[in-house]
Structure formats: C-alpha cells, structure tokens
C-alpha cells in the first residue's frame, strides 16, 4: 500500500457582529378569551417546551433570530401550529378552538400529543453543522410510543417519510432501513454515525452497519437527506446520526435499569449510569439481549457497552472521549423457498449456520468556542471490528445440509479518521449569514478471507483448509482505502423568509484490492 501525505491550508475570513439573544412570550386562551393553564407550548426545531401558568402565559428566553415552528397543545382543544420569525422580541397571543367533531378519550389525546412532539426538524445550524436547505427529521426517543427494548424499527422510524424498513431479528440488533427506494439491508446506503462519527465497517468500500446502538440509550435519531453528501460523504441515502443521552448536569449519580421479558425466550437488560461531578461528566450503559427466535436454530445473544466521559477544560473548551464495544453471536435458521414458506413459515433447514460480530469503536472530540459567533470541533475516531459467517452456504436454500465441511468467511476491519469543522456567524449588511468549512481524513485497511470451516455443528470460526484441500471456494484479499475531503457551506439570508445555501465538497478517494481467489 502506498502512503501519501496531504497538507491542507485553510484560510478563514470572519466578520464581526454577533446575533442577539431574543425572547418569545405570550398567552394562550380559549375562543372566549379565558386563559388556559397547563397548555404545552413547543418550539419544534429546538425541542423546547414551556407550560402556561395560571394566567395562560409562557416565556422562552435566549433564542436566536431564526425561523421556528410554534406548536400549542392542550387537552380538549385543537392543536395550534404557526411559523414565527424572530428579528426582535416577539409576543404571541394564541386562541385555541375546542374539539367539536368527536369526543376523544384521554389515551387518544395523549397519543396525539406524543405523535406531534415526537418528530421535529433540525435547526439551520446545530453545533458545527449546517442543515439549512436539507430534508431533515429528528426522532425524539422519549416521546415515542414504541417497544424500545426490542428496537422495533417500524415503530421507531414510522414517522420518517419515505423510508424502506424491514426487520430480521427479534431484538433489533441490526438496523435495516433505506431511503430514496434504496436497499435497506444493514442500512448500507446511509452514512451511519453516532454522536457525529462513523460507525460502519468501511465508509468507502463496505458501508454496512453491523452495529446499531440500543434505542434506550438514545435521546434522538437525526435523519438528513437532500444535500447531506456535501458534509457527510458519498452515500446516496443521506445521513443517520444516533445521538446518545447526555449526562444529567444536575445529578452526580443517576442509575437507570430496565429488564424486559418477551415471547420466544426474549430477555433484554439495559442498565445505565451517568452524572456530572464538577467539570467531569459521564454516561455509561451495558445492554444485554438474548432470545430463541420464532424459528428453530435462530437463537442469539448480544452484549453492548458504551462509555462517554467529558471534561470541561474551560468555559470555551470541552474534551470528550467515548468507547463502544459489541459482541454478538447469532444462530441462523436458513432461507426458505416460496413453497417451503407456504407450507411452514417456521421451518428451519439449517442447524450449523452461525454469524458473529465483534465491534470496537473509540472517539476523542475537542469542542472549542473562539467567540460567541465562532465554534470549532475536531473529532478523532477509530474502528477495530470483525464479522464472521460460518455455515452450509449453497445457492439453493432447499438443498439438504450434507454434514460435511462448512464455508467460513471472516472480515477484519481497521480504520481511523479525523474530521475538523469551523463555523462562524457573521453579517452581510443587515442580514445574517453562517459560514462552515471543514475537512476529513479517513484511512482503512480491511482483510477478507474465505475458505473451509470445520464439519462440526457449533460456532467454530477456524479455517481448516489443510483438512479439506478440495474445498471449491477460497480467497484472501486486502483492501487499503484512503479518503480526503474538504467541504464548505454558507447560509446567506436574502430576506427574512428566503435564504440560499451554496456549498462545495472536494473529494479524493483511493480504493484498491490485493489478493487472490481460487475456485476448485
């Protein structure tokens, strides 16, 4: 593998004036002018909620001069929704209409509330990222009515329009979703990240996601489509970013434990520990899942750990380290023909097929604020992982397992990368603008081997090519890949309601394969 050294010089021209901190105040009443207490007033883009007092009043402080969606919910009243634009402090008077078409139970009304609040859009700017001009959705996990213990993808992502979703496991250990009509298998057509860094096997050559965080550990799931590739790379489907729960700033120690039992021997255990002590914050969880599956020979078990450790170096600078581990073993029951499925959908014609995943992730992130209008982030991340597949693997699924040697495929993934971003808010005349520039370096070295596996029944992931020299399919490859990207975007407000967001991305990609394939 040839090594290359890249040096990139970035010049940043920053303008001066900063944005002010604005407020939205108001009152909520019925059509007769009577104040409505305990109504929930929700700013969708910020996920901020205020509850009206006895006089129906509410108050939001510290907002930026942007466009927001204001939603007001109260039991027995129609939902009120309006768009607001903040150029100065704003006062809003909301008059709610009573529900007239039908009487709804409290359960139904609560479900209406959760459906409204559970999905929002990303703001134009979040952290050191620009989302203006892109199709975005954010799934607020705490507001979902879903089976979180089983990671039920159809329930979790059901409100995100245009996704193809299928489930292939009882506990949702692997996520299978696709957008734009693309194949959902292992979410390969999305750039998949957690807390902003890559988690798939190889972003360039093998973008499949064998690891998916448990939804119980997440605060939200961000889905970005449209022009997401400007900032996040070459996947056609866009970006999915799993955002973990943050340590509680008001508690030194917070313990959450959930134990769940289900049909087909399903057991899940989720246990988290987090808090904040002075400048140090932490959030850790251990998730364990096991089950027998609804078909014979489909048992599984998985252990997942994630640790988040943050330290506030100063008022402007924070350092965060994260580590993730996953060990996953699944028995695979084998495929069925159409006729076999019609006769018995629970049939298993394979009892020696196994699948194993070992995933290790690490990330070190630096966040620094140069001023109230200029932010910088640097994210270093690395992956050391493997996936192993062992079994009787004939093209026709109705062929009977002969009990001889099995086929073994082992893939080892090692990659690392660094992504730097600088975002600055400035003004052009009396109009606001936001400038983002960043760069990414990504390098991977993956290995793949295929050959004869032992003629046993267990999960014995060891090659026995010497014992079976006539095995028909043998291969061994190395995949050294390299990626360097420089990207930028700029939000320019033309009017209060119209803006343009030009952007660019220069991409250097080098992929290659070294190895051999033998067919006997």
Of 77, 70, 298, nearest to 173 by C-alpha is 298
pLDDT band at 214 (very low <50, low <70, confident <90, very high): very high
Q: State the CATH architecture for 125-243.
A: Beta Complex (2.170)
Identify the pLDDT of residue 110: 56
Identify the pLDDT of residue 415: 96
* Contact residues for 110 (Cβ-Cβ < 8 A; gap 6+): none
Query: Of all residues in the chain, what percent carry a pLDDT higher than 90?
Result: 56
Identify the pLDDT of residue 65: 79
Identify the pLDDT of residue 123: 80
CA 401 to CA 397: how far, in whole Å? 10
Of 441, 519, 510, 511, nearest to 478 by C-alpha is 511
pLDDT band at 490 (very low <50, low <70, confident <90, very high): very high
Identify the pLDDT of residue 152: 86
Is residue 135 scored above 90 in pLDDT? Answer: no
Is residue 361 scored above 70 in pLDDT? Answer: yes
Identify the pLDDT of residue 28: 94
Q: Is 108 strand, coil or helix?
A: helix
Segments making up each domain of the chain, as ranges: 22-102, 125-243, 249-394+402-519
**How many residues make up the chain in this entry?**
520
CATH of domain 22-102: 2.60.40.1120
**What end-to-end distance do the CA atoms of the chain give, in Å?**
29
Q: Is 343 strand, coil or helix?
A: helix
Q: Is 393 strand, coil or helix?
A: coil
CA 441 to CA 431: how far, in whole Å? 34
Identify the pLDDT of residue 15: 30
Is residue 342 scored above 90 in pLDDT? Answer: yes
Q: What is the fold of 249-394+402-519? A: Maltoporin; Chain A (2.40.170)
Q: What is the CA radius of gyration of the chain?
A: 26
Identify the pLDDT of residue 2: 41
Q: Which residue has the higher pLDDT, 450 or 85?
A: 450
Contact 483, 509 (CB under 8 A): yes
Identify the pLDDT of residue 112: 60
CB-neighbour burial class of residue 95 (10 A; exposed 0-12, middle 13-18, buried 19+): middle
Identify the pLDDT of residue 319: 98
Q: What does DSSP assign to residue 185?
A: G
CA 162 to CA 178: how far, in whole Å? 9
Average pLDDT of span 473-499:
91
Average pLDDT, the chain: 87
Identify the pLDDT of residue 111: 58
77-121 tens-digit pLDDT: 888 989 898 888 899 999 998 876 555 555 555 556 555 556 677
């Amino acid at each position: 593998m040839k090594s290359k050294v890249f040096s990139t010089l970035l010049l940043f021209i920053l303008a001066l004036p900063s944005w002010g901190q604005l407020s939205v105040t108001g009152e909520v009443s019925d059509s007769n002018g009577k104040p409505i207490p305990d109504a929930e007033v929700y700013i969708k883009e910020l996920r901020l909620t205020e509850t009206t007092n006895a006089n129906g009043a509410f108050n939001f402080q510290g907002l930026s001069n942007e466009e927001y969606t204001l939603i007001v919910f109260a039991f027995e009243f129609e939902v009120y929704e309006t768009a607001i634009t903040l150029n100065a402090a704003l006062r809003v008077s909301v008059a709610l209409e009573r529900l007239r078409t039908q009487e709804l139970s409290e359960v139904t009304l609560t479900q209406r509330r959760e459906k409204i609040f559970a999905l929002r859009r990303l703001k134009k700017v979040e952290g050191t990222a620009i989302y203006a001009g892109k199709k975005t959705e954010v799934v607020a996990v705490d507001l979902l009515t879903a089976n979180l213990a089983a990671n039920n993808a159809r329930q979790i992502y059901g409100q995100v329009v245009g996704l193809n979703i299928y489930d292939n496991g009882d506990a949702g250990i692997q996520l299978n979703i696709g957008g734009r009509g693309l194949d959902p298998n292992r979410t390969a057509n999305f750039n998949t990240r957690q807390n902003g860094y890559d988690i798939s096997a190889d972003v360039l050559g093998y973008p499949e996601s064998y690891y998916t965080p448990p939804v119980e550990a997440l605060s939200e799931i961000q889905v970005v489509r449209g022009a997401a590739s400007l900032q996040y790379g070459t996947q056609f489907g866009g970006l999915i970013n799993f955002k973990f729960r943050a340590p509680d700033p008001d508690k030194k120690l917070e313990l959450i434990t959930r134990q769940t039992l289900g049909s087909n021997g399903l057991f899940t255990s989720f246990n988290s520990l987090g808090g904040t002590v002075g400048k140090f914050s932490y959030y850790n969880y251990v998730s364990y899942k096991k089950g027998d599956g609804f078909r014979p020979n489909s048992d599984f078990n998985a252990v997942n750990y994630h640790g988040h450790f943050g330290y506030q170096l100063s008022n402007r600078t924070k350092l965060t380290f994260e580590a993730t581990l996953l060990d996953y073993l699944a028995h695979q029951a084998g495929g069925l023909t159409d006729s076999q499925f019609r006769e018995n959908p629970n049939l298993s014609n394979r009892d020696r097929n196994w699948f194993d995943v070992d995933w290790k992730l690490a990330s070190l992130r630096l966040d620094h604020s140069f001023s109230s209008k200029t932010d910088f982030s640097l994210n270093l991340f690395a992956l050391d992982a493997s996936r192993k597949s062992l079994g009787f693997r004939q093209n026709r699924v109705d062929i009977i397992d002969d009990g001889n040697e099995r086929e073994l495929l082992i893939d080892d993934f090692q990659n690392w990368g660094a992504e730097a971003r600088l975002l600055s808010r400035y003004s052009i005349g009396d109009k606001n603008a936001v400038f983002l520039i960043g760069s990414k370096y990504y390098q991977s070295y993956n290995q793949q081997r295929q050959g004869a596996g032992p003629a046993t029944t267990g999960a014995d992931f060891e090659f026995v090519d010497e014992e079976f020299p006539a095995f028909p399919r043998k291969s061994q490859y190395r995949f050294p890949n390299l990626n360097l990207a420089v990207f930028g975007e700029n939000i320019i407000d033309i009017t209060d309601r119209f803006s343009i967001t030009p952007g660019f991305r220069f991409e250097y990609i080098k992929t290659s394969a070294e190895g051999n394939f033998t067919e006997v």
